[in-house]
Amino acid sequence: MLKKRIIVCLDVKDGRTTKGVKFQNNIDIGDPVQMAREYYKQGVDELVFYDIIASARGRGPILDLISRVASEVFIPFCVGGGIGSVDDIRSTILAGAEKVSLNSQAVLKPELIKEGAAIFGNQCIVLGMDAAKDEAMPSGYRVYINGGRVKTDLDALEWAKKAVDLGAGEIVLNSMDADGTKDGYEINLTRMIAENVSVPVIASGGGGTPEHLAQALTEGKADAALIATMVHSGQYTVGAIKESLKNQGVPVRL
């Protein structure tokens, strides 16, 4: 049986790690380089680094910071935020990332998924999707961009399928309704996307306890769970979460 992955997310703003609830009221919680080093020591499977204001400000990725984080971790490292061209993808990978996450820029320029996958391989191209409940959409969920600030006309399920057809090798699926609440993942949304695409789906938004992760990885059919607040707060270590998942019968890398 394939092992489930635990991924820590560092949301970065102006070079510092930040955390908010439902994309609001972000506070500074530390230095991303030091935090990356600590989570690597704790045994995290992968690290995701999002520059949460790059797209809104119309600038590219902060390559210096990416390379400093990459020098501290020897696990898959995914970077998102402001990656709007093939050159941005190339420079981000050269700075030390194994994968790039395309979110707002993928919506604005879907051909970027296709071009990136053709040049660097599907495994390098991750679709980042921020979705929120909306009864007006066929699936019941609408896609948002620019860090949740701008609503689109895209239905979450249709966009996920289209992005995979274009070449996305993985989807990080973030529930805006659950983001930062620590009340549990959006299981309905996660399962719906996971059942309808052929690539790994990473559940994001709402993880507060190891039981929440177990639910997303089993009922939600996610291949991995992304966490932030529950480890940033110091309430849990990555090791403690993995031990709990193992005890709940979820296969993880210890």
- 45 flagged as catalytic: no
With beta carbons less than 8 A apart as the criterion, state whether 112 and 105 touch.
yes
- Which residue from 195, 201, 203 is spatially nearest to 174, judged by alpha carbons? 203
d(CA 87, CA 11): 23
Q: Catalytic pick from 11, 51, 88, 179?
A: 11
- Which residue from 132, 97, 125, 92 is spatially nearest to 111, judged by alpha carbons? 125
- 179 flagged as catalytic: no
DSSP letter at 124? G
DSSP letter at 252? B
Measured from the Cβ of residue 158, the count of other Cβ atoms closer than 10 Å reads 14
Q: Catalytic pick from 51, 88, 130, 155?
A: 130
Q: Write out the catalytic residue numbers.
A: 11, 130
